Amino acid sequence: MPDELVLQETARWLRYATEDLEATVANLAGPARHSCLLAQQSAEKAIKSIFVFLDLQVPRIHDLDTLRNLLPEGWSVKLQLPALYPLSLWAVQSRYPGNMAEAARGDADRAVALAENVLRCVEDDLRVKGFVC
């Protein structure tokens, strides 16, 4: 079991992931690209919380499929969420005009649903490993 500081930092990453998801849901009536970006950030922080829990260096990348694939074996998030690329698009490309099509409400709804699944799966994984969320 990780030491207390690692557990506290894991909880902090999960809290940030949860806050980003809550902000995403609260913003659904606003610009869709903001909801998509916040959903991506929630999923990214959730996955990175596993690296923190394992006391590994947190990769400084935004590609969720790459992050997920860097996790050691034994984490169900690797099997249950095989396609996170749609969320990764919102990390960088969507932040500037001209890089991709404008986000629509349907994009935001799908991004939120996927981020919710990521956060839930990560929390379940961490519970199985002994972390109290």
pLDDT tens profile 97-133: 887 888 999 999 999 999 999 999 999 999 999 998 8
The total number of structural domains in the chain stands at: 1
Structural domain including 117 reads 4-128
Q: Is residue 133 part of a domain?
A: no
Q: Is residue 37 part of a domain?
A: yes
Q: Is residue 111 part of a domain?
A: yes
Q: Is residue 44 part of a domain?
A: yes
pLDDT of residue 95: 77
Domain with residue 54: its CATH number is: 1.20.120.330
pLDDT at 42 over 90: yes
Mind giving me the DSSP string for the chain?
Answer: ---HHHHHHHHHHHHHHHHHHHHHHHTTTS-HHHHHHHHHHHHHHHHHHHHHHTT-PPP----HHHHHHHSPTT-THHHH----HHHHTTTTGGGSTTSSPPP-HHHHHHHHHHHHHHHHHHHHHHHHTT---
pLDDT (tens digit per residue) in 50-72: 999 999 999 999 999 999 999 99
Q: Is residue 43 part of a domain?
A: yes
Q: Is residue 32 part of a domain?
A: yes
Confidence tier at 94 by pLDDT (50, 70, 90): confident
What mean pLDDT comes out for the span 74-94?
89
Confidence tier at 82 by pLDDT (50, 70, 90): confident
pLDDT at 1 over 70: no
Q: Is residue 89 part of a domain?
A: yes
Model-level pTM?
0.95
